Amino acid sequence: MHEQNRGFFPNKEEIRKAIYTFSSKKMVIFLITLGAFIVSGFLILNKINQKFLIERPLKGGSVTEGVIGSPRFINPVLAGTPTDEDLVSLIFSGLMKKDENQNIVENLAQSYTVSENGNIYTFTIKESAKFHDGTPVRADDVVFTINKIKDGTLKSPEQQNWSNISVTKIDERTVEFRLGSQYASFLESTTIGILPSHIWQEIESGDFIFSDLNIEAVGSGPYQIKNIDKKKNGLIESITLKSFNKYTEGEAYIDTIKFKFYRNKEDLIKAFRKNKVDNINSISGYDAQILKEDGAEVRSIKLSRVFGLFFNANKQEIFRNKQIVKAIELGINKDQIIQEVLNGYGEKISGPIPTTILSKEVSQEKEYNLKIEEANSLLSKEGWAISESGYRVKDGKTLSFSISTGDASELQTASNIIKENLKNLGISVEIKVFEIANLNQSIIRPREYESLFFGQIITNDSDLFAFWHSSQRNDPGLNISSYTNSKVDGLLQKLIVTKETEEKQKILSEIDSEIIKDMPAVFIYSPNFIYAVNEKIKNINLQEVVLPNDRLNNVNKWYTRTEKVWNFLNN
């Protein structure tokens, strides 16, 4: 009989017989070797598996934002506080929107065209665009919203952006804007949220601000209102939003975003430390540093804001003397202000345009003690001598002026540092503090100040026009230094109609240089936007922030849950 053919590998019976022949020592070696083989094989396979796996976001989860102040107008026409603007940015959407890099991209709009002369913009609305109640977004809604903004009865904060623009319905999905003159930043205005006309049209303008729809808002944004929680006294405690599954850019990953409202910064920070909220902003540099030391993740990014000391030569004639103004600038210790006011969360500036808008090289500065020497020399040459009082006097008159500012702690602290800095030069400074609303109405609008320590928000070219064009010297204009320069006027007008980036930068640089040369103000610092966040939230992309609600520009792309899949399955 022939021997049965044997395969390459031993069969089970042969393996069993072989194992029984092992001694105890060989059996231990065999088991260890087998175990090592299995473990190493598993590790190799896992490593190969990991190499081809990718992580992708999953839908689900929740986020809680803590903010200061309760909402009053969740309405793009009326929103005027950071809390209102946060909620509006999530609940409403515009024809266009800002992405995380501040680029203006389509949102409700499918496309748009611009006429050759740049004065006519025509938008086509996406067929799929819907409000939270399922009603399609159409041209009537856009026309209704813009006309309400232009309605003087409502006193919309957005009115100035639309005063010289007409809007017309072409058909159900097409709307046309005609500009009184070219305006290169017009597209940014079209990021304004659109109201549902079928809900609001029966409400008279006089009753607009009293409508419950200002809280129970219906929009077309990535989130819609799920529920509103109120305290026993009727004040709103929190608002919970849920993702809108028909949002034009697709449903957001995070299911719910809850906004909890706090009275002040102290309560807000306490809630963050107790994990009652995930994210907070509107905190100081000192608070941010403490939270960082506690292990919190704190994001910091430049803001398009300029803080400085603005002069009103119509009220104080010493500001007409450039040598005195130069001495004042040299005497202000900007490094001290940034450290003591912002705890380092900001940067020194020398001109009216923030570095978020104008790119320019940082020049080497003199040491502060050398600046003081130069300032003292300038004042002495102008005939201002130090008297027994310690202040400079000329022709029996003390070198002095007053600074008007708001009651925010940051403004007061900075103003007092300026006062002490200038005291060292022999300049007497009086600080006048006003409640912010009173400062705006009773001091700024009638120009009743000698100098003003204040901040300017520069979001686009039209803001620079409002702050520095000579036509804006009187109320309601915002040229708070009553600045006049025909060359700057021409450059500002040219800037508004210029679209090409390189040309814009050239014009901005010329404007910056001219204003610095004329010294209508001392530009001191630009603060950072500070955002403390929970590390569970992924893809919070803060490339640029102009306004606090810009942190939410890509909120539909945030996520808290992930899964790992083979790369070829990630379609």
Q: 324-352 burial string, b = 16+ CB within 10 Å, else e?
A: bbbbbbbbbbbeebbebbbbbbbbebbbb
Q: What is the pLDDT of residue 471?
A: 94
With beta carbons less than 8 A apart as the criterion, state whether 295 and 94 touch: no
Q: Is there a domain that residue 298 lies in?
A: no
Summarised one tens digit per residue, pLDDT across range 326-367 is 999 999 999 999 999 999 999 999 999 998 888 877 677 889
Q: How far is it, in rounded angstroms, from Cα 279 to Cα 272?
A: 7
Given a contact cutoff of 8 angstroms between Cβ atoms, the answer to whether 108 and 244 are in contact is no
In a domain, 274, yes or no: yes
Per the DSSP assignment, residues forming a β-bridge with 125 are: 109
User: Across residues 107-136, what is the average pLDDT?
Assistant: 96
Least confident span in 40-54, 148-162, 514-528: 40-54
% pLDDT > 90, the chain: 75
For 471, list phi and psi in degrees, rounded to 5: -70, -10
d(CA 542, CA 545): 7
If asked whether residues 211 and 316 sit together in one domain, one would say no
Spatial contact of 78 and 156, defined as CB atoms under 8 Å apart: yes
Does one domain contain both 196 and 315? no
43 domain residue, yes or no: no
236 and 316 assigned to the same domain: no
Q: How confident is the model at residue 1 (pLDDT cuts 50, 70, 90)?
A: very low
Kindly tell me if the per-residue pLDDT of 3 is higher than 60.
no
**Longest Cα separation, the chain:** 136
pLDDT of residue 102: 82
Q: pLDDT-based confidence at 30, cuts 50/70/90?
A: low
pLDDT average, residue stretch 119-126: 96
Q: Report d(CA 163, CA 146) in Å as an integer.
A: 10
Cα 296 to Cα 294: distance, rounded to the nearest angstrom: 6
Is the bond leading into 476 cis (omega within 30 degrees of zero)?
Answer: yes
Rounded to whole angstroms, the Cα distance separating 2 from 389 reads 126
Query: Residue 111's closest CA among 100, 102, 123?
Result: 123
Domain count, the chain: 2
The reply to whether 118 and 178 lie within a common domain is: yes
Residue 228: enclosing H or E segment and its boundaries?
A: strand 223-230
Mean pLDDT taken over the chain: 91
* Tokens matching residue 16: 């069993």
Same domain assignment for residues 472 and 543: no
CATH of the domain at 116: 3.40.190.10
Residue-level pLDDT at 563? 79
**Residue 258 belongs to domain spanning:** 62-278+534-563
**Mean pLDDT on 528-552:** 90
Specify the DSSP element, H or E, that contains 415.
helix 409-423
Token code pair at residue 137? 């977004």
pLDDT at position 141 over 70: yes
Same domain, 226 and 350: no
Tell me how crowded residue 39 is: count the other CB atoms within 10 A of its CB: 10
Nearest CA-CA partner of 527 in 501, 547, 504? 547
Structure confidence at residue 13 (pLDDT): 67
Decide if 343 is inside a domain: yes
- The H or E element spanning position 236 is strand 236-243
Q: What is the pLDDT of residue 22?
A: 63
* Mean pLDDT, residues 67-90: 96
24 located within any domain: no
CA distance 401 to 357: 32
The secondary structure element, H or E, covering residue 530 is strand 521-533
Residue 418 has pLDDT above 70, yes or no: yes
pLDDT > 70: percent of the chain: 91
Model confidence at 496: pLDDT above 70: yes
**Which pLDDT band holds residue 33 (cuts at 50, 70, 90)?**
confident
Looking at the structure, do residues 260 and 315 belong to the same domain, yes or no?
Answer: no
423-449 residue pLDDT tens: 999 999 999 999 988 999 999 999 999
Question: Side by side, which strands form the sheet with 385-386?
Answer: 385-386, 392-394, 397-398
The CA distance from 509 to 503, in Å, is 10
Q: Which of 398, 374, 401 is nearest to 386 (CA)?
A: 398
331 part of a folded domain? yes
Contact, 524 vs 348, CB < 8 A?
A: yes
CB atoms within 10 A of CB 363: 6
The verdict on 385 and 259 lying in the same domain is no
CATH of the domain at 446: 3.10.105.10
Structure confidence at residue 462 as a pLDDT band (50, 70, 90): confident
- What are the φ and ψ backbone dihedral angles of 19, each rounded to 5 degrees? -65, -40
pLDDT of residue 541: 85
Same domain flag for 472 and 549: no
- When pLDDT is averaged across residues 469-474 and rounded to a whole number, the result is 94
CA distances from 254 to 537, 558, 561 (A): 9, 7, 9
Lowest-confidence segment of 2-6, 272-276, 355-359 by average pLDDT: 2-6
Length of the chain: 571
Measured between alpha carbons, how far is 217 from 439 in angstroms, rounded to an integer? Answer: 32
Owner of token pair 């109201």: 195
Distance (Å, whole) CA 90 – CA 112: 23
Q: Are residues 379 and 512 in the same domain?
A: yes
Write phi, then psi, for 566 (nearest 5 degrees): -65, 140
State the Cα–Cα distance between residues 278 and 257, nearest whole angstrom: 10
User: Is residue 5 over pLDDT 60?
Assistant: no
Residue 514 shares a structural domain with residue 538: no
Residue 83 has pLDDT above 90, yes or no: yes
The pLDDT, as a whole number, for residue 49 is 60
Asked if the structure places residue 448 within a domain, the reply is yes
Look at residue 206 in the predicted model and tell me its pLDDT.
92
Lowest-pLDDT range, 181-185, 235-239, 374-378?
Answer: 181-185
Domain presence at residue 36: no
Q: What does the pLDDT read at residue 8?
A: 58
Vertex 164 angle, CA 161 and 169, to 5°? 95
- For residues 395 and 485, membership in a common domain is answered with yes
Name 524's Cβ contacts closer than 8 Å, sequence gap at least 6: 307, 308, 309, 332, 334, 337, 348, 349, 414
CA 562 to chain centre: 28
